[in-house]
Amino acid sequence: WQHTFEGVPMYTPDGQEIEYSIDELESIELNKYSKTITSNENKTEFTIKNTLNVQSSGITKTGTEKLRATNGKVNYKINYIA
């Protein structure tokens, strides 16, 4: 989506330039994302980019039995419990 802010003042009543910034509210759903905020040089255009954080998973086999390779392959059974 895209939004344009219109009618916002550039200066305070005493002539000081107003510097605007933008942010995104935190939420449980957004915790799954990494947020990056960029702007152009004049800070007149901002982009908020959310990138999904993909969790890596791995399997560690532990136990007392020895694994043996047959024809370059190791065969064993894994029971996954979530």
Tell me the per-residue pLDDT of 16-40, one tens digit each, with 9 for 90 and over.
998 888 887 777 666 778 888 888 8
The more confidently predicted of residues 71 and 17 is 17
The more confidently predicted of residues 20 and 76 is 20
For tokens 């024809």, the residue is: 71
Q: Confidence band (pLDDT; 50, 70, 90) for 67?
A: low
Q: Confidence band (pLDDT; 50, 70, 90) for 61?
A: low
Residue 27 C-alpha from the chain's centroid = 13
pLDDT above 90 covers a percentage of the chain that reads: 7
Interatomic CA distance for residues 46 and 38, integer angstroms: 6
Residue 54 amino acid letter: V
Question: CB burial class (10 A; 0-12, 13-18, 19+) of residue 46?
Answer: middle
3-state helix, strand, coil in the chain (%, to 5): 5, 25, 70
The more confidently predicted of residues 67 and 49 is 49
